[in-house]
């Protein structure tokens, strides 16, 4: 997402390509890299991220079969609110495939959050029909409740559910979704395992964020909350130092330790950061390590919402 949806500034193609290639090249033989894109991951809410991927696969066609592409779509054509109507889902899938230009198969499509105005079963049936037409292969969900995941899976198998998971985003509903996904054999794509960069320890003040950075609008990054929330980061840094890893790698390892079906998906637009994040998967946490991290999480209540404040219900848990 941060390759093309940054507020301002353009990340050069070659820098992005190097970051993607580094992750793929680091894979063990036979493995695939999960690429997480969106129909609207661009400053103009257009298909810029998908177009970037198409240019990557134009230049490196041999890498297409080494990746599993998940794309969020299903947003209203008039804005970012969800529109789960069969007509809009078809429009969205066709728009995604047009932007990809045949360079890469759309492996998984997920609606960006659950539309409360359209019966969930109707939306899933529509997506199942698009699979039969050969437009993509797997259905995913995003920011849904455990109960919604179960309802959808009863209509058509859900392959993955994308939710925010990190040491500072581990709400009760998050735990329920992870448990339900395990029961049903569904993968969890855990986005923002680094707490949008906060858990790396690099952000100590709102002034550390670029002036037009969207995180400035998130209440957790308000100056009144940052100083409080840094207490958790300091504890994670101390544990990471003893483990010989970065706090970011520790956070990725903790997310991965929540279950074999949980896949941390940290974002990066730099080769070096991609490799650092990937190495987080090699950090082995003992039961004692996990207990210490969990105690730190329980001891430090995170202040601020994951998004914009009191209106967060409009953005989360459908």
Displacement of CA 120 from its chain's centroid (Å)? 22
CA distance 1 to 11: 11
191 annotated active-site: no
Q: Tell me how far apart the alpha carbons of residues 134 and 79 are, in angstroms, rounded to a whole number.
A: 27
Helices assigned H by DSSP within 133-222? 146-155, 172-184
> What backbone phi and psi angles, to 5 degrees, belong to 202?
-80, -15
In a 3-state reduction of DSSP, which class is residue 317?
A: coil
CB 206 within 8 A of CB 221: yes
Three state DSSP letters for 64-105:
HHHEEEEEEECECCCCCCECCCHHHHHHHHHHHHHHHCCCCC
Block residue for tokens 């994040």: 277
Which among 41, 63, 170, 191 is annotated as catalytic?
A: 41
Query: How far is 197 from 316, CA to CA, in rounded Å?
Result: 20
Catalytic residues: 41
């Amino acid at each position: 997402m941060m390759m093309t949806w940054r507020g301002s500034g353009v990340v050069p193609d070659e820098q992005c390509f190097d970051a993607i290639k580094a992750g793929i090249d680091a894979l063990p033989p036979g493995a695939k890299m999960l690429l997480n894109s969106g129909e609207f991951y661009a400053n103009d809410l257009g298909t810029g991220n998908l177009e970037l991927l198409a240019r990557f696969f134009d230049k490196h066609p041999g890498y297409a079969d080494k990746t599993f592409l998940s794309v969020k779509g299903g947003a209203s054509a008039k804005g970012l609110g969800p529109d789960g109507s069969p007509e809009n889902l078809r429009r969205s899938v066709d728009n995604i495939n047009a932007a990809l230009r045949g360079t890469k198969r759309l492996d998984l499509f997920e609606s960006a959050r659950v539309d409360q105005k359209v019966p969930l079963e109707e939306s899933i049936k529509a997506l199942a029909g698009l699979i039969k037409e050969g437009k993509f292969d797997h259905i995913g969900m995003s920011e849904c409740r455990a109960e919604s995941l179960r309802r959808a899976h009863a209509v058509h198998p859900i392959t993955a559910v994308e939710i925010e998971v990190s040491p500072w985003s581990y709400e009760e509903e998050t735990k329920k979704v992870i448990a339900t996904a395990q029961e049903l054999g569904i993968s969890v794509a855990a986005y923002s395992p680094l707490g949008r960069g906060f858990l790396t320890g690099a952000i100590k003040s709102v002034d550390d964020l670029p002036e037009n950075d969207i995180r400035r609008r998130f209440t957790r990054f308000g100056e009144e909350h940052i100083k409080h929330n840094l207490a958790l980061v300091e504890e994670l840094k101390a544990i990471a130092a003893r483990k010989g890893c970065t706090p970011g790698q520790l956070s990725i390892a903790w997310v991965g330790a929540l279950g074999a079906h949980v896949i941390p998906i940290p974002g990066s637009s730099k080769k070096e950061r991609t490799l650092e994040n990937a190495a987080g998967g090699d950090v082995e946490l003992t039961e004692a390590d996990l207990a210490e991290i969990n105690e730190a999480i329980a001891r430090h209540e995170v202040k601020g919402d994951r998004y914009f404040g009191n209106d967060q219900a409009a953005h989360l848990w459908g």
